[in-house]
Amino acid sequence: MRDNDIKKKLVIIPAHNEQENIGQVVTRVRELDIGIDVVVIDDGSTDRTARHARLAGGKVIRLSSNMGYGVALQTGYKYAFERGYDYLVQLDGDGQHDPSYIPELFRQVMTEKTDMIIGSRFIKEKTQNKLSLPKYKTGIPKKFAITLFAFLTTKLVGLKVTDPTSGYQAFNRRVIAFFTQDFFPCDYPDADVIVIVHRAGFRIKEYPMIMFERDIGRSMHSGLKPIYYLFKMFLSMFMTLLRKRPVSLFLKAED
């Protein structure tokens, strides 16, 4: 094994029509100056997302059409695995995720005490008997979905999960390899991914953080999409439980 100070670290940012936000996100990640590479997966954007990401100093992988959030993520995982990255952080390109947490997420996952870190908007850190993180505000339909799937995920995996829909995550090479396989849910990879990872024997931990409301652009869960999301997530979680317990094809080779 290589020493932690020479481990390869990658940040991936899936983005679709985020020209107003992506440049600032990439710039803030690069300003951290912690020896990481930054890749934006442009999911078939019809605006200048790719151009703005490159101008900010990020590498861009462009998908030929809008393939969806899960496909964009898995493209990043395959890129990371094929190029030998040891640790990966993923965050959204819409500005809701604060890049300043990236060094701590890498530090947490590099301790070898956990395999996957999930950033949570709903864990409250106590500092001198006071809550240090402000309450995250969201619409009623989205809040209902988060609460419902947090409850179901907690019951299924046997440990407290407060934010199963968080796209701000970090994991090690074993999980990167695991996510390159065909069973990865490429529609809405949220609560079902946590269940899959737990059933495969990986260690999961949540980390408290502040996330911002979206200021510019359109959310992927706008309009009637939350109804479709609920249906697809229930179906995906049900199918996950019916499948044989998944294993990584690469674990033995990596160990």
Give the range with max mean pLDDT: 136-150, 159-173, 239-253: 159-173
Report pLDDT for 63: 97
**How many Cβ atoms are within 10 Å of 246's Cβ, its own excluded?**
16
Q: What would the mean pLDDT of 32-53 be, rounded to a whole number?
A: 95
Range of the domain at 109: 4-254
* % of the chain exceeding 70 in pLDDT: 80
| pLDDT 10s digits, 219-233 | 554 555 667 777 777
Question: If DSSP codes are grouped into helix, strand and coil, which group holds residue 25?
Answer: helix
Do residues 117 and 109 lie in contact, with contact meaning Cβ atoms separated by under 8 Å? yes
* % of the chain exceeding 90 in pLDDT: 60
Q: What would the mean pLDDT of 127-131 be, rounded to a whole number?
A: 46
Q: Which position has the higher pLDDT, 4 or 56?
A: 56
Taking the alpha carbons at both ends of the chain, their separation in whole angstroms is: 9
Q: Is 33 left (phi over 0), alpha (psi -120 to 50) or beta?
A: left
pTM, two decimal places: 0.84
Q: Which position has the higher pLDDT, 229 or 1?
A: 229
For residue 164, give the H/E element and its range: none
Is pLDDT of 33 > 90? no
Lowest pLDDT segment from 60-64, 125-129, 228-232:
125-129
- Computed over every residue of the chain, the mean pLDDT equals 85
Q: How many domains is the chain built from?
A: 1
| pLDDT 10s digits, 72-123 | 999 999 999 999 999 999 999 999 999 999 999 999 999 989 999 999 998 8
| pLDDT 10s digits, 149-187 | 899 999 999 999 999 999 999 999 999 999 999 888 887
CATH number for 23 = 3.90.550.10
Report pLDDT for 188: 76
Residues whose CB falls within 8 Å of the CB of residue 99, separated by 6 or more in sequence, listed in order = 25, 28, 29, 32, 91
Do residues 46 and 15 lie in contact, with contact meaning Cβ atoms separated by under 8 Å? no
d(CA 178, CA 200): 9
DSSP string, 29-95: HHTT-SSEEEEEEE-S-SSSHHHHHHHTT-EEEE-SS---HHHHHHHHHHHHHHTT-SEEEE--SSS
d(CA 102, CA 190): 20
